[in-house]
Amino acid sequence: MELLPADQMAFQRMLDTIRRNYERFGFSPIETPVFELTETLLTKSGGETERQVYFVQSTGNLEKKSDALPELAMRFDLTVPLARYVAEHERELAFPFRRYQMQRVYRGERAQRGRFREFYQCDIDVIGKDALSVRYDAEIPAVIYAIFNDLAIGPFTIQLNNRKILKGFFESLALAEGSQQELILREIDKIDKRGADAVKETLLADPFNLDASKAEELMRFVGFRSSSTADALNALEALKGRNETLDEGVNEMTSVINALTAMNIPQDAFALNFSIARGLDYYTGTVYETTLNDYPQIGSICSGGRYENLASHYTKSKLPGVGISIGLTRLFFQLKDAGLISTEESTTQVLVVTMEDSEDALEAALQFATSLRQSGINTEVMLENAKLAKQFKYADKARIGWVAVIGEDERTNNQVTLKNLSTQQQVTINQADAATHMHQH
C-alpha cells in the first residue's frame, strides 16, 4: 500500500495511537530483522505457508546452482520471529515477558483489492515461564478496548470464547476426534456468509452425516451471542458438569469476564460468542476477535488468543503466552474505503509567509518560525519568493491549518497576521501571543 502524504499521516496517527496504548499497559518494544533463517521460518509451517514465503537470494549466490532452498527468507508474521527471539534471549529476559512489535511482514499472496504483500502487523504478547495466569487473558481485551476507543472508528465488539469450551462441548456430543472437529468448525465458521440453515444442511449430509439431534444442539450452541455480562455468566454456568475439559474452559472464561468488569470495560464492548475458534492447531484457551458493529463485512479487525507453548521448536523450556495482532495495513484500507478515516490534517500546523523578497523579511520569518517551534507549534517557512495568493494556495492544498503573514507593518510593530484556513477568520496580534492563540483556536 502506497499512500499520499495526507493518508500517510492518518496511517501514522493510527500507529501512534496503538503504540501509545501498548506502552500504557506496560508492554516494551522489540524489533526483529526482516530476514530470518529459512529453517527458522519453515520449522512449523510448510504447505500453504511455504508457498507464500519470499526467499532471499544474493546476486553472488545466483551463480551457484543448487536445489536447496535459499538460506534466508522474509518474515511472514511476527509470531515465529518472536518465538525465535524469546528462545535466543531467554536467560536475559524477565518473565512474564511483555512485548509489543509493530513492523512490516511479507507474504506472496495473490494480489486482490485490500490484500497487500507487504503490510504492517501490530502485535502484543505476554509470555510466561512454565505457567501464565489466566488473568493475563483478561488484560488483552482491556488493551483492545483502549486502542479502538481512542481510534474513534465507531462502536465495536470484542468477541470472546475459549477453545476448551469448544473442545469440551464437542466431547459432550461424542465428536471428540480432532480432524472431524476441524472440518465441522470450518463449516461453522461460514455461518455469517452462508446462514445457519445452509451450514446445518451441510453437516447433515456427506461427509459429516451428523445425527439430526446433535446437529441441532451444535447449531444452537454456536449460535449463542451474549447480550450482557449477566447473560454471558449465566450461559457459562449452564454448561458446567458435562466434562472436565468444558468445566475448565468455563472457569477460565468466567474469570476473564469478571476481570473485565473489574477493569470497567463496558458490557456492550464485549460478548461471549461460542462460534469463535481461531487457529485450531495453535490456540489452546481464550480466543478473541474484534468486529465493527456497523461494518460487519470488514470482518475481524483484531484477533488472537492463548497458546500453550510459544517456542517449543527452539527451546525445551515451556513458554505459554497470550497475545493479539492488528493487521493495520488492511484495516486502514478497509476503514478508508468505508469513509471512517479522516485525512484532512497535516503535520504542519502553520505556514509562515512573506510579502516581499528581502533579507529583512526572510530573517523576520525565520526568527518567528523558530519561536513557534520552541512553543510546540509545527512550523514551515515559505523560503521561495512567490505571490501571496500562491503561498496561500499551497497552504490550502497541503492541508495546513494556519497561515502567518509578516509584512513590513508587522515587522515594525513586532506583530503577525494569523489566518485560520478552516474558519477563514483572521487576526493581527503580537508575535509573542501567536502560539497561545493557535493552541486555543
Look up the CATH number of the domain holding residue 121: 3.30.930.10
pLDDT at 175: 82
Q: Same domain for 91 and 41?
A: yes
Name the least confident of 66-70, 241-245, 384-388: 66-70
Domain count, the chain: 3
Give yes or no for residue 44 having a pLDDT over 60: no
User: What is the pLDDT confidence band of residue 231, given thresholds at 50, 70 and 90?
Assistant: very high
Q: What percent of the chain has pLDDT over 70?
A: 97
CATH number, domain with residue 380: 3.40.50.800
Beta bridge pairs of residue 291: 157
Provide the pLDDT for residue 342. 81
282 part of a folded domain: no
Please tell me whether residues 8 and 149 are part of one structural domain: yes
Round the average pLDDT of the chain to a whole number and report it.
91
Q: Is 302 found in the same domain as 256?
A: no
Q: 274 in a domain, yes or no?
A: no
Q: Centre a 10 Å sphere on the Cβ of residue 344 and count the other Cβ atoms it contains.
A: 10
Q: What's the rounded Cα separation, in Å, for the pair 123 and 32?
A: 13
Tell whether 279 is covered by a domain: no
Q: Domain range holding 226? A: 163-269
For residue 50, the model assigns a pLDDT of: 63
- This prediction has a pTM of 0.89
Exposure string (b/e) for 89-101, b if CB count within 10 Å is 16 or more?
ebeebebbbbbbb
Question: Do 79 and 167 belong together in one domain?
Answer: no
Q: Is the pLDDT of residue 45 over 60?
A: no
173 domain residue, yes or no: yes
pLDDT exceeds cutoff 70 at 272:
yes
* Residue 369 to residue 363: CA distance in whole angstroms: 10
Q: Is residue 392 part of a domain?
A: yes
Please give the pLDDT value at position 49: 61
How confident is the model over 192-218, as a mean pLDDT? 87
pLDDT digits (tens, 9 = 90+) for 299-344: 899 999 999 998 988 999 999 999 999 999 999 999 999 989 887 7
Which whole number is the average pLDDT over 413-438? 96
Q: Count other Cβ atoms within 10 Å, centred on residue 81.
A: 22
| 361 and 378 fall within a common domain | yes
- Residue 426 shares a structural domain with residue 407: yes
> Over the stretch 349-376, which tens digit does the pLDDT of each residue have?
999 998 888 999 999 999 999 999 999 9
* pLDDT single digits (tens) 125-175: 999 999 999 999 999 999 999 999 999 999 999 999 999 999 899 899 988
